[in-house]
Amino acid sequence: MSSQDTLARLEQTIAQRRDADPASSYVAKLNAKGLGKIAQKLGEEATETVIAALTESREALVGEAADLIFHMIVLLVAKGVPLAEVMAELDRREGVSGIAEKAARTAD
């Protein structure tokens, strides 16, 4: 099983739980609170990931990174953006210098 399969399954599970009972589903609870809460939670997870990278163990970083990816997918599903679209963008950028790619975005 590839990591992409794992992410696809996670995206499917999040999509299925989006409209579930908020009392029984964390994903549904986040969605019931709205996009602002989902974005806030993603920001919190990003901060926790940075802190773990700078001050905590490898295991803590792995756990926080998993939380960050999970919450990113919750946000993407809430906005109707398929993970495949993000993966296609990463594929498009593959082999392109990060400096050149950023310059191309700011030139638009």
Provide the domain count of the chain: 1
pLDDT truncated to tens, each residue of the chain (108 aa)? 677 799 999 999 999 999 999 999 999 999 999 999 999 999 999 999 999 999 999 999 999 999 999 999 999 999 999 999 999 999 988 887 767 667 776 665
- What pLDDT was estimated at residue 98? 65
Helical spans, DSSP H, in the chain: 3-17, 26-33, 35-55, 58-79, 83-93, 98-107
* Backbone region of residue 104 per phi and psi (left: phi > 0; alpha: psi in -120 to 50; beta: other values): alpha
User: Which CATH number do you get for residue 77?
Assistant: 1.10.287.1080
Query: Is residue 38 situated within a structural domain?
Result: yes
